[in-house]
Amino acid sequence: MAADADVQALDADRSVLLLVDWQTRLLPAIDQGALRYARAVRLAAIAAAVHVPCLGTEQSPDKLGPNGPEIRDACARTFTKTHFDATQADAVAAAVRQHVEAGRSQWVLAGCETHVCLLQTVLGLLRMGVEVRVVIDACGSRDAADRDAALDRLGRAGAGLVTSEMVGFEWVRHAGHPAFRTWQGLIRSR
């Protein structure tokens, strides 16, 4: 899958954005949490502009709180989970299969904690045969070393490692795209 993920540009018509555990009580402990969160919100905004479905997960929200309001509002559906690997939740696995059957086999992920829930969810998606991109500037852990080790492992496992700008530009494809000006505004507002 790694070689395929490296040569296939993202296609908005084939993509799904999954925002993993951007929970309010967890964010203050995340290294560069505000920046990482802002990048995830920006991803959600461009996904909406190019009609990419956006889903979210929350790990034990009774303990860690809900996702931040911008993330929660952006997600068509938010799945509550207790497994670190979201694909172990029946509802998430069913949603993945449903989207893949509808031709959306490119999954773009951003979230917390990179070395726990994001890592295990990406590995679960790869086992399901899904093409995965991990947005490195929109992923965080409490410790930068944990984040970096997880990203290295995910790249070796077959996930494409990308940035939020790479994703946005691949989704709009050209300056004549109806959402290009929206994307320009999102980049400039960082």
3-class secondary-structure state, position 144: helix
Task: Quote the percentage of the chain above a pLDDT of 70.
Answer: 96
The CATH homologous superfamily of the domain defined by 2-157+169-188: Isochorismatase-like (3.40.50.850)
Given this model, what pLDDT does residue 190 score? 62
Check residue 5 and give its pLDDT: 58
Mean pLDDT across 70-87: 97
Rounded to an integer, the average pLDDT of 85-112 is 97
Question: What number of H helices and E strands is found in the chain?
Answer: 9, 6
Q: Taking 70 as the threshold, does the pLDDT of residue 105 lie above it? A: yes
Whole-prediction pTM? 0.94
Domain spans of the chain, in order of start: 2-157+169-188
Over residues 79-105, mean pLDDT: 97
pLDDT for the residue numbered 163: 96
Rounded to the nearest 10 degrees, what angle do helices 33-49 and 164-172 cross at?
10
pLDDT at 40 over 80: yes
Mean pLDDT confidence for 128-135: 97
Report residue 113 CA to chain centroid gap: 12
| Residues whose CB falls within 8 Å of the CB of residue 137, separated by 6 or more in sequence, listed in order | 35, 36, 39, 163, 164
Both tokens of 179, joined, read 């959402």
User: Phi/psi at 131 (nearest 5 deg)?
Assistant: -80, 125
